[in-house]
Chain A
Amino acid sequence: DTAVSQTPKYLVTQMGNDKSIKCEQNLGHDTMYWYKQDSKKFLKIMFSYNNKELIINETVPNRFSPKSPDKAHLNLHINSLELGDSAVYFCASSHQDRGTDTQYFGPGTRLTVL
């Protein structure tokens, strides 16, 4: 069983389009995250939800909008895609209420904007 899954794995699209990435975790965790990993492999947090409540919203353009319909799902919608949005996007989850915040990552979604 996949603990943290993301769809799609690859996403190739044109500038200006709108796209969504979905994430699901079956670990019973209370917190989910979106990270962006650029071409130099730097990993930067974008958003975090704890029990469906947005708790971290880093300096991310308004074109990015996360949605958490329930504790097991966190989706990322991106409007008006730009070339600079090309990256690998990772979803992760953890149990923050247990204090240690060990994170479990999905396999990533490689987004290419042409």
Chain B
Amino acid sequence: AQSVAQPEDQVNVAEGNPLTVKCTYSVSGNPYLFWYVQYPNRGLQFLLKYITGDNLVKGSYGFEAEFNKSQTSFHLKKPSALVSDSALYFCAVRDLRNTGGFKTIFGAGTRLFVKA
């Protein structure tokens, strides 16, 4: 079965500094990987995804993620953090089910706190 792990419960970074939110995955076959963001009292919002192609994927709000097959990682990055980036970030992997269709498996989430 596919799985994702987010090793950090919380990441703290100063505004203007680069940020990284870590994600590692375990899949059989080619991975379909996603990052979602959840702001307080809101639903999750799609940020970006990796399916195939370039290892560096660009997404919304200036975020990008780097797919690294040898390290089975898909870390989320941003060159310069904003206070408004403070939120809960979820890494996810698509699991192809034997009975057909897909199920998305979400990591436990990492809370990003950007200090002014």
Residues of A within 8 A of B (CB): 4, 31, 41-43, 45, 48, 50, 55-56, 90, 92, 96, 100-108
Give residues in B with beta carbon < 8 Å to A: 32, 34, 36, 38, 41-46, 49, 51, 88, 90, 94, 97, 99-104, 106, 108-109
Residues of A within 8 A of B51 (CB): 100
**Docked CA distance A55–B101 (Å):** 7
> Is the pair B46, A103 in contact by a Cβ cutoff of 8 Å?
yes
Q: Is the CB of B99 within 8 A of A55?
A: yes
Count of A-B contacts with CB under 8 A? 56
A-B contact pairs, 25 of them (CB 8 A): A4-B43, A31-B101, A41-B88, A41-B108, A42-B108, A43-B109, A48-B103, A55-B101, A90-B43, A90-B44, A92-B43, A96-B102, A100-B32, A100-B49, A100-B51, A101-B32, A101-B94, A101-B102, A101-B104, A102-B46, A102-B49, A103-B46, A105-B45, A108-B41, A108-B43
Using Cβ atoms and an 8 Å threshold, which residues of chain A touch B34?
102
Q: How far is the CA of A31 from the CA of B49 in the complex (A)?
A: 19
Known: A42-B108, A43-B90, A50-B101. 17 other contacts (CB 8 A): A31-B101, A41-B109, A42-B109, A45-B103, A56-B103, A90-B43, A90-B44, A100-B32, A100-B51, A101-B94, A102-B34, A102-B46, A103-B46, A103-B104, A105-B36, A105-B43, A105-B44
